Structure 1
Amino acid sequence: GNVVSRARLPDGTPKFPLMEAIMEAGAPYTSGPQWLAEHVLLGRHVLAVAGTHGKTTTTSMLAWILESNGLGPGFLVGGVPMNFGVSARLGSGTALRSAQGEEEPAQRAGDTEQRAQSARFPLFVIEADEYDTAFFDKRSKFVHYRPRTAILNNLEFDHADIFDNLAAIERQFHHLVRTVPGSGRLVVNGLEESLDRVLHMGHWSEVRSFGAAVSDFVASGEPHAFDVLEQGRSVARVEWSLTGTHNQLNALAAIAAAQHVGVAPVDAARALGSFQNVRRRMEVRGTVKWSSGDITVYDDFAHHPTAIRTTLDGLRRRLGSDSGRILAVFEPRSNTMKLGTMKSQLPWSLESADLAFCHSGGLDWNAEEALAPMGACAMVAPSIDALVQHVVSAARPGDHIVCMSNGGFGCVHGRLLTALKAAAQ
């Protein structure tokens, strides 16, 4: 949720008395997204990355592509891209390149005069969230950003605390689409029926699709090394350290968006070769050496069932079937997961894990019941201490332990590493 609300404590006093005082005084106030729009994004070519999953990673990819090609973009990311070491910067103000260095069909190139006009704007890449703006502005944050280039990466139900159903979120994405100018570009995942419905509500900009067999941009090959096909023609090759088909799709989206501001796919793909991802995206937190093999502990931000599944699937695909077990350690911490809206999807999301360990503290629903279809492969612990004990007791050399939460998770990564090192002695 947002930091400031009109919530009341059990005794009836305001949870945020400073906000109440500001309102009582009649002092001016604004939201973070509105402030960004007025003081940072105004006069810039905004490239916005929206979607239920992959926003942080794709935003970081796109910023790195532009940086590697000398465009000095500003950016705001909901994480820390390891290529930059910071989550935000204003940028150098380098102008766009107006030419793409390759010919495109007239209907794809867009109006030349409009492209030349946009070439005077400096670039800013922003992670565009669909969560509501503030307690006094219930529109999605991204409607404030007015992008010229917008990635619609994927869309499924989330944020059950503020949205009643998927249709309500689709409507907000339509509102985002309405803010993109005619000379802009929508980069849309062709595999998502929900995004098809968003486009059918109306759009006024060029659409470039990716992912599906009939899309404008398609990947051919394994997620760690693949060719990029644009309208059936091979235009680039990506070879990098990332895993998972979800990251393959993220790359296609970033390449298509970068092309809109003058970066050829071959140059974008070259930049991705040195992309280092974001902290807390399958970040290795440590390795414990045992006499007969190592145990590796990872940290990942996954908290939605689909994100959990794609994270684990990506690791399983990289490891193969004979390269150690995957132990999934997760905390249903997001508002949506706490409500239990998606608890029935948890066994499906954990199918690539050999064992699953759930921290059930703070939940109002029965985690053991939700994970019952997994039988003895799933364990539930009400505290972090108990969770660590369960994991350490089950771990053996060669295991890969993936800790997943959108919060601090009680520093479970460090506690696991300490306990595993003690057990190895």
Structure 2
Amino acid sequence: MKKVHFIAIGGAAMHNLAIDLHNNGYLVTGSDDEIYEPSRSLLAQNGLLPAEIGWFPEKISSDLDCVILGMHARVDNPELLKAQALGLNIYSYPEFVYLQSQNKQRVVIAGSHGKTTITSMILHVLQYHHKKFDYLVGARIEGFDTMAKLSDAPVIVIEGDEYLASPIDRRPKFLHYHPHVALISGIAWDHINVFPEFQDYLHQFELLAQDVPKSGSLIYDETDPLVAKIGAVEYPDIQKYAYRAHPAKVKNGKTFLILPNKKELEIAVFGEHNLKNLNGARLVLSQIGIEEDEFYEAIASFKGAAKRLELVAKNEHTIFYRDFAHAPSKVEATTKALKAQFPERHLVACLELHTFSSLNKNFLKEYAHKLDSADTAIVYFSPKTLEHKKLPAISVEEIKAAFGTPHLEVFTDNESLKVYLLTKRWRGSNLLMMSSGTFNGLDFAEISNQILQ
């Protein structure tokens, strides 16, 4: 039995990897100084929730086979210092995943936006056709118990994040995976806290493309100018496949793919960005043994990944969606998609500024006109979040000037936001709530119950 300790076990990928290793017979322990839902409940269900919150060097001993270090920990973490002093094997989770998949065909889905959805589509199709595969994905998908799986499967599909691997490994996660098949969905500056210069951020994707080996495949969105430039480079003995949005039409609030035989196929996801995601997934699957007709058969039942244009509630007059969108390109694509799907309805789009980048005054200008597709545009941020991230205060006027959207509403406490939403007339209107956070605990169930009445 292998003994593994997770430093920062509460992370999204970390807790899922811990659960999977536990299910595979590993002896797993872990620590963290904060564990939120759903990580807390899932760890508890599997007997992996730490008895106490905090860091405990006494958990680190020489009989551990390795320590897996999460990005949430700091370089002076007492458990990390103890592991280093003992000379233990210390891996970031992408390093560990690579070590477990060296003999597999590795597929990596990367990009500033779309990677979770594309990865989820691929996993859905593979599971639909009862294929054997491993995976690592950034959102919950219907039909999957965890967001990570390692086994003896011949292929692994990985959502490749460009954020840093760990506090002691400043390389992007996706540069650890060494893919045989790589997809780049789009590039838009993000993670300003670790890539303060755009060219440095862009260079990480160039390095990923260069890492594809001879006889490997690079799949890329040719409609993204930055990605198209990477795709235009000549890489020795690499197959390149460009894609754009799959042909489709919208009828009565429903999206239908136009298939090569001119037939129409209704799908549950919508928006030009998702039609691109779908076509990218199709090309990846063609590289790992899925025929085109098999793809279309399976994709019709794909309902989307959690928090990606996720339906919260609806009636015949109003639909309420939530989305993980937080970076400017994601905010623009998601808002446009919902307006295009229901052009006759009034769209209320609300964005929470929650990430380090979105709350950075130097980055705010990147949001200029990204909410213009909404009929009513709202921005919410919490001054407490700014304090927690040790960022300078931002004024309402600075938010309005940066976004440039006429009549932008700005809120700094969630109770006022809730009152505003509940006093609007919702017949013939749709609501879109976008954030990588929770609007400071805003109760979506309560809001949906009231606005749908």
Query: Is 2:394 the counterpart of 1:374?
Result: no
Trace 1:320-399 onto structure 2 (pairs within 5 A). Answer: 320=343, 322=344, 324-361=345-382, 362-363=385-386, 364-372=393-401, 373-376=404-407, 378-399=408-429
Trace 1:238-387 onto structure 2 (pairs within 5 A). Answer: 238-287=265-314, 294-320=317-343, 322=344, 324-361=345-382, 362-363=385-386, 364-372=393-401, 373-376=404-407, 378-387=408-417
Amino acid aligned to 2:325: A
Amino acid aligned to 1:360: F
Q: After superposition, what is the alpha-carbon deviation per residue over 1:192-243, rounded to whole angstroms, capped at 9, x for unaligned? A: 22123334565231101111xxxxxx632337223356xxxx6996531111
Query: Is 2:93 the counterpart of 1:32?
Result: yes
Residue aligned with 2:442, SS: helix
Amino acid aligned to 2:113: H
d(CA) in 2 for partners of 1:152, 1:325? 34
Query: Is 2:221 the counterpart of 1:189?
Result: yes
d(CA) in 2 for partners of 1:424, 1:196? 43
Contact 1:150 1:185 in 2 (8 A): yes
Q: After superposition, what is the alpha-carbon deviation per residue over 1:125-153, rounded to whole angstroms, capped at 9, x for unaligned? A: 11001111112111111111111111111
Contact 1:237 1:266 in 2 (8 A): no
Q: After superposition, what is the alpha-carbon deviation per residue over 1:235-283, rounded to whole angstroms, capped at 9, x for unaligned? A: 9965311110101101111111111122122221221111111111121
Distance 1:69 1:91, change over 3 A: farther
Query: Is 2:144 the counterpart of 1:144?
Result: no
Distance 1:395 1:74, change over 3 A: farther
Distance 1:395 1:235, change over 3 A: closer
Q: For residue 166 of structure 2, what is the aligned residue in structure 1?
A: 134
* Count of residues paired in the alignment: 369
Out of 209, 221, 243, the position equivalent to 2:242 is 209
Q: After superposition, what is the alpha-carbon deviation per residue over 1:59-89, rounded to whole angstroms, capped at 9, x for unaligned? A: 0111122222332221111001124353222
Q: After superposition, what is the alpha-carbon deviation per residue over 1:323-345, rounded to whole angstroms, capped at 9, x for unaligned? A: x3211122111221121344224
Q: For residue 214 of structure 1, what is the aligned residue in structure 2?
A: none
Residue aligned with 1:409, SS: coil
How far did 1:375 drift? 3.8
d(CA) in 2 for partners of 1:397, 1:411? 26
Q: For residue 3 of structure 2, what is the aligned residue in structure 1?
A: none
d(CA) in 2 for partners of 1:244, 1:126? 24
Distance 1:383 1:249, change over 3 A: same
Contact 1:170 1:195 in 2 (8 A): no
Q: For residue 43 of structure 1, what is the aligned residue in structure 2?
A: 103
Distance 1:272 1:333, change over 3 A: same
Out of 126, 132, 149, the position equivalent to 1:89 is 149
Q: For residue 122 of structure 2, what is the aligned residue in structure 1?
A: 62
Residue aligned with 1:394, SS: coil
Contact 1:327 1:353 in 2 (8 A): yes
d(CA) in 2 for partners of 1:236, 1:169? 41
Q: For residue 17 of structure 1, what is the aligned residue in structure 2?
A: 78
How far did 1:26 drift? 4.0
Residue aligned with 2:247, SS: strand
Contact 1:236 1:265 in 2 (8 A): no
How far did 1:381 drift? 1.5
Contact 1:188 1:210 in 2 (8 A): yes
d(CA) in 2 for partners of 1:186, 1:423? 46
d(CA) in 1 for partners of 2:379, 2:258? 38
Q: After superposition, what is the alpha-carbon deviation per residue over 1:104-144, rounded to whole angstroms, capped at 9, x for unaligned? A: xxxxxxxxxxxxxxxxxx11111001111112111111111
Percent of pairs with identical residues: 24
d(CA) in 2 for partners of 1:303, 1:219? 25
Amino acid aligned to 2:225: E
Q: For residue 14 of structure 2, what is the aligned residue in structure 1?
A: none
The TM-score with structure 1 as length reference comes to: 0.79
Distance 1:87 1:367, change over 3 A: farther
Distance 1:91 1:275, change over 3 A: farther
How far did 1:369 drift? 2.9
Structure 1: gaps (5+ residues): 7-13, 94-121, 212-217
How far did 1:358 drift? 1.8
d(CA) in 1 for partners of 2:181, 2:405? 43
More RCO (CA 8 Å, sep 6+)? 1
Query: Is 2:140 the counterpart of 1:80?
Result: yes
The TM-score with structure 2 as length reference comes to: 0.75
Structure 2: gaps (5+ residues): 1-69, 387-392
Residue aligned with 2:213, SS: coil
Q: After superposition, what is the alpha-carbon deviation per residue over 1:168-194, rounded to whole angstroms, capped at 9, x for unaligned? A: 123212222233221211111111221
Distance 1:227 1:296, change over 3 A: closer
RMSD of the alignment, in Å? 2.5
Query: Is 2:433 the counterpart of 1:412?
Result: no
Contact 1:133 1:141 in 2 (8 A): yes
Q: After superposition, what is the alpha-carbon deviation per residue over 1:332-363, rounded to whole angstroms, capped at 9, x for unaligned? A: 11221121344224351111212122222134
Amino acid aligned to 2:72: V
d(CA) in 2 for partners of 1:91, 1:285? 34
